[in-house]
Amino acid sequence: MKKDLLKLLDLSREDIFEILDTADMLKAEQKAGKKHDFPAGKTLAMIFAKSSTRTRVSFETGIFQLGGQGIFLSNVDSQLGRGEPIEDTARVLSRYCHGIMIRTYDQDEVEKLAEFSTIPVINALTDFAHPCQVLADLMTIREHKGQLTGLKICYIGDGNNMANSIIVGGLKCGMDVACACPTGYQPDEQVLDYAKKVTDASFTLTTDPKVAAVDADIIFTDVWASMGMESEIEARKTAFAGYCVDDSIMALANDGCMVQHCLPAHREEEITAKVFEEHADEIFDEAENRLHAQKAVMYLLMK
């Protein structure tokens, strides 16, 4: 792997499978109560411009289980909130810590942080990409299905950071990907350009969720309005009418189709309560695997 995890576009298929194999190993060790082979005393600076439940708890727990410590930094806990340039923060934290995790809005901010940092930088979410989440998703799919290559992913909803990362991660692993988004809410052009170049898996972009769901092995969805889009909620409810994962969508998928949701879920909007509860075990396996996938990233980058 490279020094940092900034987006899945930067990784090779071999990089992704190395992370997944390491995550499987660390999960097995943790379940068996076995100590991880990782140097003690590592520190992870955790920068949060966007708040989170799963991201903070999984990273803080993960670095603790590896024998290190996480340091939580919100905008009010750091000089970033008072206008310090990101490049200065990068150089300061590089003198104190062994890694930086950042959850923020702008992908360029993460890229600049990595440029000026001499320690690994991990993107825990930007408006463009959510690589750690999709690594956990791929881990979960492989646990349940026993493989990735040759399966079909269907994503229904906003062409947001999740859609961007699912498309890239799925295609890099040899999975066919179909994405259904309303007009005006498509994935990023950089991602669509990448998808056009893939030769060993197929990509379909449509506005019809029922077209995307045909023969799917895994169906993904996400909230219609992500954090920072609160003013758009009513407009998005109108635009996304018909984009709910319900029984009619599931009936088009293959038998045994999984459902994945990065959470939090808005029942009866992007997914019905019935479908959510029928697939709750898969969804909360996915949530748990954030811990193991992120530990794998830290293990590989910070060891």
Residue 46 DSSP SS3 = strand
- Measured distance CA(169)–CA(108) in Å, rounded: 20
> Do 94 and 199 reside in the same domain of the chain?
no
DSSP letter, residue 124: E
| 262 labelled catalytic | yes
Model pLDDT for residues 103-139, shown as the tens digit of each residue: 999 999 999 999 999 999 999 999 999 999 999 999 9
Query: For residue 3, is it within any domain?
Result: no
Residue 152 — φ and ψ, nearest 5°? -115, 125
User: Above pLDDT 70, what percent of the chain?
Assistant: 100
Q: Which of 130, 236, 261, 279 is catalytic?
A: 130
> Do 21 and 153 reside in the same domain of the chain?
no
Answer whether 0.85 is exceeded by the pTM: yes
> Do 105 and 169 reside in the same domain of the chain?
no
DSSP letter, residue 147: -
Structural domain tally of the chain? 2
- pLDDT value at position 183? 97
| 222 labelled catalytic | yes
Sign of CA dihedral 197, 286, 211, 243: negative
Model pLDDT for residues 249-266, shown as the tens digit of each residue: 999 999 999 999 999 999
Region 230-246: mean pLDDT is 93
> Do 211 and 259 reside in the same domain of the chain?
yes
Mean pLDDT is lowest, of 27-36, 44-53, 71-80, 183-192, for 71-80
> Do 140 and 274 reside in the same domain of the chain?
yes
Tokens describing residue 55: 């991201």
Residue 105 — φ and ψ, nearest 5°? -95, -55
Query: For residue 1, is it within any domain?
Result: no
How many other β-carbons are positioned within 10 Å of the β-carbon of residue 234?
9
For every residue of 185-201, DSSP letters joined together read -PPPHHHHHHHHH--SS
What is the torsion angle, in degrees rounded to the nearest 10, for the CA atoms of residue 142, residue 145, residue 146 and residue 149? -70
| 13 labelled catalytic | no
- pLDDT value at position 289? 98
Q: Which of 133, 154, 158, 181 is catalytic?
A: 133
Is the per-residue pLDDT at 20 higher than 80? yes
> Do 150 and 218 reside in the same domain of the chain?
yes
Q: Under a CB-based contact definition with an 8 Å cutoff, are residues 152 and 215 in contact?
A: yes
Residue 87, domain extent = 8-130+290-302
| 261 labelled catalytic | no
What angle separates helix 54-65 from helix 280-302, to the nearest 10 degrees? 50
> Do 92 and 185 reside in the same domain of the chain?
no
| 290 labelled catalytic | yes
Q: Under a CB-based contact definition with an 8 Å cutoff, are residues 104 and 127 in contact?
A: no
